[in-house]
A and B are shown apart, each in its own frame.
Chain A
């Protein structure tokens, strides 16, 4: 197990270096003058330009600049946003909980609906139930989620007037962030109706973001389950006189979960890509919207730092998934 972990870490280090190199070179590939891009200043005198060039260390060789950059990111310094004038890492920390809250809700929804739906389809293989579940899953898998979000807004916010269109909580409520999770903070604030308000703001973005992972998890669960249900040990479990509930829900499910967990881990990338669109549609103040705004405002320190941080999150989650994989699969653990 330890060896397995060390092996994974050994692959992670060069990948992270590569990611940092890409994020670093990105700003140098941009058309235009890096000094102006990085300082955000325009119309500089040649002396001032040289001064800034020197201040930013841009007059030194490429590889030295890269090692400097590497050194500073290891100390948590990712540069300063030209829009907010705050350190990129601070901005990230204040926005990330919003994305985390949304993504967690979405993945929980996707797991809680996707796994039972896939199991049901597998157990009722070939029936109309199976066909309709898989039909809906394929529609979800093919869904342009930015349009799906707009449709839900038209119907639930516009036509029915049930849910708000944008933001995280009604302007009526204000309290300082404690955990950064609006659902928890609203409860902690003790203000009446705050939690309910946060929930209504959260519901549509969660549904939109959960759509594709839900479809993928349902499809994967079904195929894994079908494979497992044909195994000898399922027949043994039935020969023991176990109830169908226990045969499917314990013996078959535990084995079917092994590939499904890998799939769930891969959804992190899908979620963060989806967050870019979902947060844009619902004006959700998270890192997805932050990145899109940075791209449009040419806030390159943010784009550079955001790329690095998001890639780091994905790599970290993949590592965690590998560890969980070892936990659920005894053949790897021993």
Chain B
């Protein structure tokens, strides 16, 4: 059975200039222990789709789907209260800007223990022990002292490790990582990616990696979905995709890897392809 199964997901936002369709009929599934990468340029609706699955979009968004199931449970029909028991515990998410994603007014220790407090029956001492354990798992040295620090006292990489620790607190079945390394230095990016892959394998959880970076895909994913303007245009396992991309857009994305650069500047994709060419080969 799939861990997460989405069929024909549509997300629309009400804006001043009429409804805007951010996600347009996306279907996907993730199995336990699998790493799925969702690739696309910014604005392609890849984050929105995942936020919709977790019920985190603002009320201005209209979410519909033929099927939106996590672990056999219908996430759309679920009450808000029931959904909150799943979100943060069984599905966890980490975000792009680690420093901004942590609350500046609370210590990182508080922010980790908070997750444990609402989702587990652990008492204060047990929570502290678990928090220390998590900090060691994600590779934060001097954990005892660090728990009392505020986000602004830490570096971006450290904050992302804290976010990962928060996400892993309740041993989730699925982790969604939304551009987890984009805001970080190149050397730190590699460390964080390695950490994610290692933890994923160790815990056997499903991992959805949202990214625009084909390098990240190559390094982490089992299977890849390519999204463009809110629609899925290609889906394949990672080897097939890199060796034999079907869609013109995917080919263009792959050729945008720095290794493939010719001359001083890479052409933008919209200069090369029209929407018709891209959507022509898209699966529905």
Contacts and interface: CB of A to CB of B under 8 A. Distances in A.
A255 B103 contact: yes
B87 A239 contact: yes
Range for the number of chain B residues in contact with chain A: 20 to 34
B152 A240 contact: no
B103 A330 contact: no
B87 A237 contact: no
B122 interface: no
Interface in A310-334: 328-331, 334
B103 A242 contact: no
B88 interface: yes
Given A328-B105, A329-B105, A330-B105, A239 B100 contact: no
A235 B95 contact: yes
Given A241-B88, A330-B150, A331-B152, A236 B114 contact: no
A328 B106 CA distance: 10
B153 A334 contact: yes
Interface in B115-130: 115, 118-119
B209 interface: no
Contacts of B92: 239
A239 B56 contact: yes
A242 B163 CA distance: 15
A4 interface: no
Contacts of B208: none
Contacts of A54: none
Contact of A236 (B85, B102, B118, B119): B102
Nearest to A231: B100
Interface string A215-254: 0000000000000000111011111111100100001001
B56 A241 contact: no
Contact of B103 (A243, A254, A258, A329): A254
B163 A236 contact: yes
Contact of B152 (A236, A241, A251, A330): A330
Interface of A: 231-233, 235-243, 246, 251, 254-255, 258, 328-331, 334
18 contacts: A232-B101, A236-B95, A236-B103, A237-B103, A238-B56, A239-B56, A239-B92, A239-B93, A240-B87, A241-B84, A241-B87, A241-B89, A241-B119, A242-B84, A243-B84, A258-B105, A329-B105, A330-B105
